[in-house]
């Protein structure tokens, strides 16, 4: 099972929006609505930001939103803040296995 494809980096100024893509196949992202997104700060464990494509866990700001079209899922961070600077990973169910994305480093300029 190959890793899902994410851009290595993304950036935006405070207050702007940034969207991260997560491209899979018809066997994972395209088939199942079990796509989640994680934020990871250096030296910390990942934090769940979005699950089942677009649902937000309690406590996650509504600045974070998720969507999916075909084999590509997306995470949008609106109103960028300094604390949003982190690595972001997508994950998808792939029919008996689970797979993570390659990761995207988000920089707040």
Sign of CA dihedral 88, 83, 62, 12: negative
* Rounded least distance, CB 63 to other proteins, Å: 19
* Rounded least distance, CB 50 to other proteins, Å: 9
The bridge status of strand 86-93 relative to strand 35-40 is antiparallel
Rounded to an integer, what distance in angstroms lies between the CA atom of residue 103 and that of residue 77? Answer: 15
Considering CB under 8 A, how many residues would be counted as binding other proteins? 27
Q: Give the position of tokens 């405070």.
A: 14
Q: Does 23 bind other proteins (CB under 8 A)?
A: no
> What does the binding site for other proteins look like in residue numbers (CB under 8 A)?
1, 3, 32, 34-36, 38, 40, 45-48, 51-52, 57, 89, 91-93, 96-103
């Amino acid at each position: 099972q190959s890793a899902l494809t994410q851009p290595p980096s993304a950036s935006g100024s405070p207050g702007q929006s940034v969207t991260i893509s997560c491209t899979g196949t018809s066997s994972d992202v395209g088939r199942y609505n079990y796509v989640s997104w994680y934020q990871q700060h250096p030296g910390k464990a990942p934090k769940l930001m979005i699950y089942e494509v677009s649902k937000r866990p309690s406590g996650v700001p509504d600045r974070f939103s998720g969507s999916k079209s075909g084999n590509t899922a997306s995470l949008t961070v609106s109103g960028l803040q300094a604390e949003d600077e982190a690595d972001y990973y997508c994950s998808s169910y792939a029919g008996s296995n689970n797979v993570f994305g390659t990761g995207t480093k988000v920089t707040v300029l």
